[in-house]
Chains A and B, each alone.
Chain A
Amino acid sequence: DVKVTQSSRYLVKRTGEKVFLECVQDMDHENMFWYRQDPGLGLRLIYFSYDVKMKEKGDIPEGYSVSREKKERFSLILESASTNQTSMYLCASIYSLTGELFFGEGSRLTVL
């Protein structure tokens, strides 16, 4: 059974704290993505990666960075969390033959 696993389902952080969100996939997919999901705004792409150590900005990269040291792991980093980064964060990988995205269960981050 294919799986994308996000390390934390729920996090509460304070403004200015550094936040790491980790994502692991077991499908040997090349491409991985980080989205955030907000009511009324839908899913918006933050960053994606098409290979180890490669990354590309998505539609809303400001305030975020990513790391892809291993093929199976894609991390999202908030260097200094702010309240407007309170959101649901979804990691996904893509099966390139079909274009199907496989999502993790999401990490709900609250920044106080």
Chain B
Amino acid sequence: TQLLEQSPQFLSIQEGENLTVYCNSSSVFSSLQWYRQEPGEGPVLLVTVVTGGEVKKLKRLTFQFGDARKDSSLHITAAQPGDTGLYLCAGEGSGGGADGLTFGKGTHLIIQP
């Protein structure tokens, strides 16, 4: 069974600060996705990283896939209250996404004005 460990589980910071969320595994994933979930809603895809060492930017969010494709990070610059939510990483294994993704337990992020 492939496991994804996310850290921290909870993070509460002030508006304007920077933060990094980590997603680690001992297993290799063919790709890794980051989702954001707001209260009362289902998760929504933010980004997919596929290549080891890949870096993708989405406005103030920077996503990185580890060289060995076992870990990933999400860095938010100058966090805003609108960034508040549950951030989930999800890995696609060798069987492809057709049999479901492996999800981390999530990071609850609160950005205080």
- Give me the interface of A with B, judged by CB distance under 8 Å: 4, 30-31, 33, 35, 40-45, 48, 50, 56, 58-59, 90, 92, 94, 96, 98-101, 103-106
**Top 9 A-B pairs, shortest CB-CB distance:** A103-B42, A42-B105, A99-B97, A43-B103, A45-B100, A100-B45, A42-B103, A31-B98, A103-B43
A-B interface contact total, Cβ < 8 Å: 60
Closest Cβ neighbor of A42 among chain B residues: B105
User: Within 8 Å CB of A96, what residues of B?
Assistant: 97-98
- Give me the interface of B with A, judged by CB distance under 8 Å: 1, 31, 33, 35, 40-45, 48, 88, 90, 92, 96-101, 103-106
Closest Cβ neighbor of B105 among chain A residues: A42
* A101 & B101 in contact (Cβ 8 Å cutoff): yes
Q: B102 CB to closest chain A CB, in angstroms?
A: 9
* B97 & A42 in contact (Cβ 8 Å cutoff): no
* B42 & A92 in contact (Cβ 8 Å cutoff): yes
A101-B90 contact given A41-B105, A43-B103, CB 8 Å threshold: yes
* B99 & A98 in contact (Cβ 8 Å cutoff): no
Q: A7 CB to closest chain B CB, in angstroms?
A: 14
* A99 & B33 in contact (Cβ 8 Å cutoff): yes
Q: B106 CB to closest chain A CB, in angstroms?
A: 6
* B48 & A40 in contact (Cβ 8 Å cutoff): no
Q: B37 CB to closest chain A CB, in angstroms?
A: 8
User: Within 8 Å CB of B48, what residues of A?
Assistant: 98-100
* B41 & A106 in contact (Cβ 8 Å cutoff): yes
* B99 & A42 in contact (Cβ 8 Å cutoff): no
Closest Cβ neighbor of A43 among chain B residues: B103
Distance in angstroms between the alpha carbons of A3 and B92 in the assembled complex: 22
User: Within 8 Å CB of A35, what residues of B?
Assistant: 103
* B44 & A103 in contact (Cβ 8 Å cutoff): yes
User: Within 8 Å CB of A33, what residues of B?
Assistant: 100
* A48 & B100 in contact (Cβ 8 Å cutoff): yes
Distance in angstroms between the alpha carbons of A41 and B99 in the assembled complex: 20
User: Within 8 Å CB of B31, what residues of A?
Assistant: 99
Q: B17 CB to closest chain A CB, in angstroms?
A: 25
